[in-house]
Amino acid sequence: MSTTAKRDYYEVLNVSRDAGLDEIKAAYRRMAIRFHPDKNPGDPRAEERFKEASEAYAVLSDPEKRQRYDRFGHEGVGGEGFTGFNSESFIDFADILGDIFGFGTIFGSRRGRSQSGSQRGSDLRYTMSLTLEEAASGVTRTIRIPRLEACEACGGSGVEPGTRPETCPTCGGRGQVGYRRGFLTVAQTCPTCGGRGQVVQHPCRACRGRGRIEDETTLEVKVPPGVDSGVRLRMSGEGESGVRGGRRGDLYVIVSVEPHDLFEREGPHLHMKLPISIFQAVLGARITVPTISGDAREITIDPGSQPGQVIRVRGAGMPQLGGRGVGDLLVHLDVVVPRKLSKEQRKLIAQAAALGGEQLTEDDEGLLQRLRRRLANEG
């Protein structure tokens, strides 16, 4: 062992004597990264500096040890001997260095799990199929979902009633054990108890120690008007029960709207095809069309309406989520040419054609002229 006097811990980490814990941690982090043995293979000086910084950090990051050190110097925390790394003062490298040098994986991250071993319950998904009418009006549905509930026999603890969990023999209840890596001893989550510090010798018989049992629950889901396929409704706290006092997960109801035989949806608007006769297209008409809300609306077909022409019925589309107005219904006219006519009808239509100066049989010349006229009119 070196016989030179130990350096002052504050000097080692290059921080002031009133430095806060965050500052000390940041200073140590810088040193640890710079002098880490993995980064300086075979350099005894770097190793010495790393060790020195680790020891300083172990003392200054512990309020009680720091106080003793401030009052009594190195004597107060065990004198000249190396004291930083006994089992009482672990350095959580995963916490300080994260994934640098792979500590996060070597020592196992404890993120996502609390000290007591409690764990949030899983989120659940439920796909709800709705008709377009239901999506338009909104609906209240009763659904049944299988989910894990806290075991009633043991109150969710997983411990057989009348028995108690015992202190973990491996870690003595601390939840962590020392792990030797080269000349360092660092903290690792106890493999026996998983960090809880306790082991269950008599698991609950009702839930086989899991603390939760499968159950089926009935829930009422209120679907607001205007939902579309893919909309997720979050029901907070309706997911699975947590473990050992952890929060419940959430339930996500995913909406799926079935296709409609009459209406096609485009955002807030609806499209429909309306077959009309050639006579209605020629002479004009008033037609009552159905809407998604169930009310009928009368529309006016102007005389001379063309196939594919669109009539917009304002406010007869889908309501928008959150009360942001209602879309329109777009009625696409589909002019149907009659396949069969009575003798009388044929006669009258032929007359009408003749009155319009129309030649029913056209030669190439006549057709070309008519097309040119039409192009000229449109241009």
Question: Where do contacts with Zn ion occur on this chain (CB under 5 A)?
Answer: 151, 153-154, 168, 170-171, 190, 192-193, 204, 206-207
Give the C-alpha separation, 228 to 226, whole Å: 7
Q: How near is the Cβ of 171 to Zn ion at its closest, in Å?
A: 3
CA-CA-CA-CA torsion for 47, 48, 54, 55, nearest 10 degrees? Answer: 150
Of 36 and 174, nearer to Zn ion (C-beta) is 174
Least Å distance, CB 202 to Zn ion, is 11
307: its two tokens: 């196939």
Closer residue to Zn ion in complex, CB, 115/359? 115
Q: Which is nearer to Zn ion, 217 or 351 (CB)?
A: 217
Residue 142 to residue 255: CA distance in whole angstroms:
14
Q: How many CB atoms lie within 10 A of CB 36?
A: 19
Q: How far is the CB of 117 from Zn ion (least distance, A)?
A: 11
H-helix or E-strand spanning residue 105: helix 103-106
265 in helix, strand or coil? Answer: strand
Question: In angstroms, rounded to a whole number, what is the distance separating the alpha carbons of residues 34 and 11?
Answer: 16
Identify whether the C-beta of residue 336 lies closer than 8 Å to the C-beta of residue 275.
yes
301-306 LR contacts (CB < 8 Å, sep 24+): 301/276, 301/333, 305/276, 305/280, 305/281, 305/333, 305/335, 306/281, 306/333, 306/335
Angle at 351 between CA 350 and CA 354, to 5 degrees: 85
Taking residue 105's Cβ as centre, other Cβ atoms within 10 Å add up to: 10
Whichever of 116 and 137 has its CB closer to Zn ion, that residue is: 116
In angstroms, what is the minimal distance from the CB of 181 to Zn ion? 19
Distance CA 287, CA 274 (A): 10
Minimum distance, C-beta of residue 211 to Zn ion, in the bound complex (Å):
6
The least distance separating Zn ion from the CB of residue 212, rounded to whole angstroms, comes to 8
The residue among 39 and 202 lying less far from Zn ion, judged by its C-beta, is: 202
Shortest spacing between CB 105 and Zn ion, in angstroms: 20
What one-character DSSP code corresponds to residue 363? -
Nearer to Zn ion, 40 or 192 (CB): 192
Cβ distance to Zn ion smaller for residue 151 or 186: 151
Distance CA 315, CA 356 (A): 40
Name beta bridge partners: 286.
Answer: 300
Residue with smaller CB distance to Zn ion, 159 or 253: 159
d(CA 171, CA 115) in angstroms, rounded, equals 14
Residue 245 C-beta: closest distance to Zn ion, Å: 14
